[in-house]
Every structure is written in structure tokens, then in C-alpha cells.
Amino acid sequence: MLQKIGLSIVLTASVIGAAEAQTKLVEKVTKKGDELVIPYEKYKLANGLTLIVHEDHSDPVVHVDVTYHVGSAREEVGKSGFAHFFEHMMFQGSDNVADEEHFKIVSDAGGTLNGTTNRDRTNYFETVPSNQLETALWLEADRMGFLLDAVTQQKFEVQRETVKNERGQNYDNRPYGLVYEKTSENLYPFGHPYSWTTIGYIEDLNRVNVNDLKNFFLRWYGPNNATVTVGGDVNPADVVKLVEKYFGSIPAGPAVNDMKPMPVKLEKDRYISYEDNVRFPMLRMTYPTPEAGHKDEAALGVLAEILGQGRNSIFYKNFVKNQKAMSASAFNSTSELAGEFGISVMAFPNTSLAQTEELLRQSIAEFETRGVTDEDLQRFKASAESGLVNRMASVSGKVSQLAAYETFRNNPNYLQEEIRRINAVTKADVQRVYNQYIKGKSAVILSVVPKGKSELIAKADNYKVDTSKSVAQPQDYSNLKYTKAVDSFDRSKRPTAGQAKAVSVPNYYTAKFKNGLEVIGTKSDEIPTVTLQLTIAGGHRLSAANPGKAGISSLTAALLNEDTENYSSEQFSSELDKLGSSIRIGSGTEDTYIMVSTLKKNLDKTLALLEERMFRPKFAQDDFERLKKQQLEGIANQSTQPTAIATGVYNKLLYGENHIMAIPTSGTTESVSSITLDDVKQFYKANFSPSVTDLVVVGDISEKEIMGKLDFLKKWEKKNVTIPADVKTPAIAKTKIYFVDKPDAAQSEIRIGYVAMPYDATGEYYKTASLMNFALGGAFNSRINLNLREDKGYTYGARSGFGGSKFAGPFTASAGVRADATAASVVEFMKEINDFRAKGITEAELQFMKNSIGQSDARKYETPGQKAVFLGRILEYDLKKDYVAKQTQILNTITKKEIDALAAKHLPSDKMHIVVVGDKKTVLPELQKLNYELVELDTNGNPVGTSSVK
């Protein structure tokens, strides 16, 4: 319920020489009954800052979000990437927060943090224990009001390299990574705010100087262009006082006006293309549509679902089911100024995209005869309701929603309007938007083809961006002045934390059925949903006895998502969608998992579908042939991906030629080719058993109620399943570099490590993997990441970790790095590992680790997913109820001496594999100068030459 309030409340001002600042309570929204609403109070400070507070005492955590209404759309031609660049700079310290301290302070407080940039806004956020609220607000206010003097040329240069690394990793070096950039350039006229992407162009990043960046900040990052949203275990009056204290004295920036929508219209189809390091030709067709919040947005969402989402879509039937493509999809994506109706088809190798386009146009036209059904609308509305409910699972989800609605709708309570619009969509609306935006309309049609296969493009390029005409609206960066707040308190003093609240692990119940299936569950009534997670032990490891059939676990799981005895896969999917539920089966290294999510009101119908899916699979021959073909294509595609090559070669070296872990979970071309449908049926029959299955239940349901609904699992027939024992891995005599050539790779992939030990919750693994490694490579402020990313600018991120399960898993240090910094990165990785092994942890690092891990418990059990992971681990490893308390005791009492001993024991830097995948002509000469023996391998891990080097 919305209450409009015009009351002014006077709070203690912190501004010297100014009249007491007034903060106005603008409105208060409360929840009535079962309505879907996020309660909040909205305030306006005298300097224009908007404050929204959501009170939720269900967990002792608080989420702080600061959203600035500035994204890449506020940039200028030739100066792209500023908003995103500034996202990086905002973590580099301010007047009262030292370089790298923002991450460190939040981590030290037991919190987590990040920032994101899109076309229309930039946001920064922290989730911390609720007693650390003041610290989070102090940090955010310091970078809003006291940033620019801390922006040095050196920091600027390092972050410029980091952003370029991010572009290399996520755009230039990623398959299809330039699709969005190419589409944007050619869909929007030159100078349109959406004609470039948030990452920006390398040439613009090279051109920009530190003063350009400072001016961008002064223009857009004032409190009057920001919304601070605080949610969680808080008292609104306390939040208002703290926000007034830390933000109230920051002077307003220049006035910022909302941008007006700038939709585009194309006069004819624009064909464009480029060659990429890919296996599958891809066709991307993009139609211009209206902006977010437009009355047609929901109807276009329904149209996208009918055309290209899920198994009941036209594209699925015509492309995927008929084996004309790997995948085909459609989405209507909206932003503040314009929207895009995007259609993507991933064709099979050597397919002419002209044929793909022809079938695509026929499929679009098929909508005219198919039309819109009541079921279409029911599926869309049920899925939308379920999605909105699940956004409420965490404080961060609710806060993010409030912040977005306020920024773009000036109404944090827009959720009610969104629900109204979704429910109001009619068949006629969907037909109308099809005619208005798609039928007979022009699009940007992009072909992405493998290198050297230009003959596969849909049609010759017929459009080139006209850079002589620009629709850019110049931004005014004149007369900008940096004025700092004047306060009556000392901002340099970090706030002291409040009294920490005790964090209790979820209460849970357990049961064991006569057939061996074990159950663990907990009641959680914050949102009206139920989550079930079935874990069937075995997975890929079951193929250890028969590696010639490796990949069968993945193929079996995929087939279980297809037809059943009583439903086609399309009918099954439709039934789920009408409930807003999901049932997903997948397979991993050591298990097959079944994930079930449903609204509480639809649990019974969802469980009936789960029973059908688990126990009455059809295993149809046509489904098998299609999925086997897709799996084989996926395996072939791995050889084009540097990350997959690096991981595959690394695993082969770690485990040895014949070990099941040396084979990817998808299998090999040879192994999957040999699998028959009878093999799958036998694998299912022999290995799907309650005797090796755990069930986790989390949600708005009691133990008694859920147990009364699980008879179908109690009747599940028990089988004798043997999980193969682990096989000893080959010893590493000495550290060597293994190099794999990936011609012209802009980045190199590095993996360093050895096979370490299995998981345990309170023994040496916990002490080593969770505690010892934290300072080395387990946190943002770890030695490895600070060195390679923050100090050197070699990478977008570097890390190390231990991967043990019931079986011994590897210690791995890894990163994707700049090609020209490959050898230097290897040197820095090994220097950090060697130093930590030899000298151990510092007292400061030890205390930071204890604080960070010890106070993070408040964030561990908030969402249904987090609770499910926690409970699942208890069953999987047969843990006692007090294991968390024992971990806490170990954490609190572990000493530097113990950590140092663990480092010396578990970081055998003289007996590790170093795998590097990169461009030979750029990388190899520098690697050969390092003091390691170097072995060249092909992409399958087979030697192609050996050379001893100094």
C-alpha cells in the first residue's frame, strides 16, 4: 500500500556553516496481505540525493546499493568506455580510503562487493553483516565526495590496462564476443548513445587522459544524480541519520536531465558480417523496438517467447528439433532509450547462412498462421510471476529492484505496475506488435562465420556506417568545479562496527527411506517457493570402468530432459511453464543432479511432473540421435576455445592418459560416437538408484507436509551401485612449462598446479584450501590478484584454489593474461607461490583472513539456494551438526606457524605443471628465456617437440 507523505523531518546536520539540512520523507509503502510488494521508505536529501530504505530482519545482513544515473549513453563519440572505466577507478581509493582498501575493508568486515555498468546506469554495492552498515555507507560516501585527488596517473594507467584486459577476455578473445558491438554500430546511427558498447573501443581507451576522466566524474557523479538504496536488518531512522551524516554535506553536482527515448527505424535490411575463431556459423537478426517501460514491452516479450524461447517455440521446432541448427532463440531486450528484438541461430558447421536466413524468415511468417493461444499467455504470465517472486529471495535482489525502479521509473513501487502490464497482455496485443515491429520490417542481419569461410555469409555486406553525419548530442563539460564537503566530524576515521549478531545455521531435519534415499530439509517462509535438489552419486566418474563410453552420463542426463512416456518434451515444458516451475537434470564430474523450483501453490503438480520425468523417460531414438549430434559438435567446438584447451591439457597432465578425470565430462569424439541408445538405457537402469541419492528440501513447507508428498520416491527401486575407487595420479618429477600454440590469440591462458587432496570440513583440507590459500589467491585482495591485476595490469583477474571433493582434487593457479605479458605473468605467479611457501603468511594477512571469513557467516544462509548448498554438503560428506562451530573454532585459533607449515607442505612449487596456451610467435620466445624445461604440445595434449632451455 502506498502512502504519499509531504512531511519534512529535521535530522542532525553535519555541515559546518550551513543551516541544518532537511531530509524529506517522500513516501512509505507497506505490504498488505499476500500482495507482491517490496516495502520501503523513500527520502530526499537537500543535495538531491534519493534514499530508499527496505527493512527486513530475516537475516543479519544489509545490502547497500548506490546507483548513478550514468552509463555509456552519457559518453561522447571518440570517448567511449568512460562510465565503465570509472567503475574501475571508483575502487582505487579516495581521500580517506587508501589504494586497494575499499575491497579490503569490505572483505575484512565479512562482506562482498562489486560494481556494474550498462548503457544507462552504473551501480556499486556491498552486502555486509548488519553491524557493518556504517562502514559501507562511509566507504560509498567517500568515493562520491572525495575521490578525485586520489585519482593518480599511475592508478589511471594500471586500470586502463585492466580494462583493456577485460575487453580482450570478454570481447576480442571470446567466440562471438563482438556480436553485440557490431550490431550496435550498425543498428543505431553514428553518434547515437547506443552505437557503442559499455566496454568502449581500444583506440578511445588509448586516447583518453586522466583529466577527461575527472571531468566525466564531476559532470555525472553528484548526489543529485544518485540513488542510495539500503535494505536488510536495519532501522530506517538509523539509516536516514547515517546517510545524512555521510552524504548530506556532499555538494550537488550539475543538473542532470533524463534522456528522452531515441528509437530507430531502418529503411532497408542491413547485411554485415565478420570472420571469427569459431566452429559454428551464426546468424543474428536485430529489429528495432521501443524502450523499456513502453506499453508494448510485455507483448513483445510474449512474441519473443512464441517465436524463440523454450520447446514450444516455432524456432525450436523448425531448427533444433529438425536438426537444422544447434540452437535458435529470440529475445526482446529493452534499455532506457530504445529496444532490440534479437534473433540468434547457431548453425551447424559449413551451413550456408543464406539457407538459415530463408528458414528463419519462413519461421517468423509461421507465426501468422500459428497465432497466439491462451496457453501462450498463461505460460508467459506464470513464468513472469515466478521470476518476480524469486527476485525476492535475497535482500540484494530486493534492493536492486527498488534501485532500478527508482532510477528509471521514479517509482520504487513500479513492481505493481509491471505485474499489471504483464497480466493485461492480450492475444490482440501480441498480434499488433508483430505487425508493427517485425512483419515486413527491416533489420540488421549479422553473419559470423569461421575464419576463411566467408562464402557462408547470408548475403554480401550492403551497409557501412556513415561517420560524416552524427546524431550525437554534445555534453557540456565546461565550468566544472571540484568542491569537497565540509564536515563537523573526522571522515578519516573508519567507523567502528556495531555489536555483531549471532548467526545460526539453519535448523534442519533428516530422514532416510527404506530404499536408502537420504533426505535433509529446512523450512523457510520468506518467499512462497519450494526448492528440491536431488543428487545421484556417480556422474562422469562412473565411466572410469569403461572410458570408451565416457560422456554417457552427460548424454543420459540430456535425454532425461526429453520425451517421457506420457508427454512429449514440448508438452512437458508447457505444463511446467504454466506453473512457473522448473525441473532441470544435468550431470557433472561426480553426480547427476535434478533441480526443482516451484511456487508453493504449485508444488503438487510439479512433483507429479518430477515423478514422470525421473521414472518414465521415453528414451526416443530421434531424441538420442539429435542430442548425440549436439554433444559431438560441442566436443569439436572445444578445440577452438583457449580456456577449454588449457583446462583439457592441464587435466591430462595432472591425471595421466587413462584416468577418467583426464577426459572431459562431455567425453571424446571417439567415446561418444560409440555410445548407443541401449547403452544409455542400461546406464540409467544400473546407476539411477535411491541408494546413492540425497534429497535436499528448502522452502515454505514443513517436514510433515513434504514427507506426505514423497511416496513416489519411497517406492523407488533400490539397485546396487558401485562408485569406482580413485586411481593414483602420476607423480611430478619437476616443474616444467607445457606450451600449446593458439595462433593470433590476444590473450594467453595459464594453469599452474598439481593434484592435492580430497575435501574435508574440519581437517587439513579446510585449513589449507579455505584458510591458507585465502591470502595467496583466494580473495580479491590476495597476493596473486593484487600483483597480476592491480599492480601490473597483466590480467582482468588471477586466482588460486583447491578443488577437492570425496576424491583428491587439484591445487590450481590460473588467469587469462595479455599475450605480451605471458612470460612475465608466469614469473609473477611462481614468485608469489614460492614466497608464500618459503615465508608464509604475515600477521596482518592472518588477521584479515580471520576477520573476513569469520564475519561472512551472516551471508551464508540467506537464499534458498544457499541453504540447499549448505544442507547438501552435510549429507554428501556425512557432517555433524556442529561442523560449522568446529570450523569457527579452527579459524579463531589457527596460528601463523600452522599456516606457514601448511604452505610449505601443500605448495610444492618445484613439482607443478605449468600450462600455457597462447600465440606461439608472440609468447614462446619469452617463455624459452625462463629457467624451466619447455615442452610443446598440441591441443589434445600430445607432444610436438621438446626443448631444454635456460
Judge whether residue 487 has pLDDT over 70: yes
pLDDT of the residue at 22: 86
pLDDT band at 100 (very low <50, low <70, confident <90, very high): confident
Q: Do residues 550 and 667 lie in contact, with contact meaning Cβ atoms separated by under 8 Å?
A: yes
Sign of CA dihedral 815, 817, 821, 822: positive
* Residue found by looking up cell 498462421 in the block: 369
d(CA 498, CA 138): 14
Judge whether residue 9 has pLDDT over 60: no
d(CA 896, CA 744): 45
Find the DSSP H helices in 755-805.
764-765, 773, 783-785
Judge whether residue 21 has pLDDT over 80: no
Q: Do residues 50 and 43 lie in contact, with contact meaning Cβ atoms separated by under 8 Å?
A: yes
Judge whether residue 14 has pLDDT over 90: no
pLDDT in tens, 907-923: 999 999 999 999 999 99
DSSP character at residue 188: S
pLDDT in tens, 494-528: 999 888 887 888 899 999 999 999 999 999 988 99
Containing 364, the helix (H) or strand (E) segment is helix 353-370
What's the rounded mean pLDDT across residues 758-787? 97
- Beta bridge partners, 110, equal none
pLDDT band at 857 (very low <50, low <70, confident <90, very high): confident
Q: Lowest-pLDDT range, 4-18, 334-348, 526-540, 814-828?
A: 4-18
Angle at 259 between CA 254 and CA 260, to 5 degrees: 150
pLDDT in tens, 557-611: 999 999 999 999 999 999 999 999 999 999 999 999 999 999 999 999 999 999 9
Judge whether residue 681 has pLDDT over 80: yes
Judge whether residue 114 has pLDDT over 60: yes
pLDDT in tens, 256-302: 999 999 999 999 999 999 999 899 999 999 999 999 999 999 999 99
pLDDT band at 945 (very low <50, low <70, confident <90, very high): low
C-alpha closest to that of 540 among 403, 651, 646, 390: 651
Q: Which residues contact 665 (CB under 8 A, 6 or more apart)?
A: 539, 540, 551, 553, 554, 587, 588, 589
Instruction: State the average pLDDT for the chain.
Output: 94
What's the rounded mean pLDDT across residues 715-719? 96
Angle at 757 between CA 752 and CA 759, to 5 degrees: 115
What's the rounded mean pLDDT across residues 306-325? 97
d(CA 133, CA 507): 27
- Sheet of 325-334: strands edge to edge? 270-276, 444-450, 282-289, 339-347, 325-334
pLDDT in tens, 860-893: 888 898 999 999 999 999 999 899 999 999 999 9
Residue 368: is it exposed, middle or buried by C-beta count within 10 angstroms (0-12/13-18/19+)?
exposed
pLDDT of the residue at 542: 97
What are the cell numbers at 755? 593434484
| In the chain, % of residues over pLDDT 90 | 86
Q: Do residues 581 and 609 lie in contact, with contact meaning Cβ atoms separated by under 8 Å?
A: yes
- Tell me which amino acid residue 901 is: A
Structural domains of the chain in order of their starting residue, each with its CATH number: 34-247 (3.30.830.10), 270-392+409-456 (3.30.830.10), 509-714 (3.30.830.10), 736-947 (3.30.830.10)
3-state secondary structure (DSSP) of residue 231: strand
Beta strand pairing call for 270-276 and 226-232: unpaired
pTM of the model: 0.91
Find the DSSP H helices in 119-271.
133-145, 153-167, 179-187, 202-207, 210-220, 236-247
Q: Which residues contact 889 (CB under 8 A, 6 or more apart)?
A: none
Q: Do residues 602 and 579 lie in contact, with contact meaning Cβ atoms separated by under 8 Å?
A: yes
Judge whether residue 1 has pLDDT over 50: no
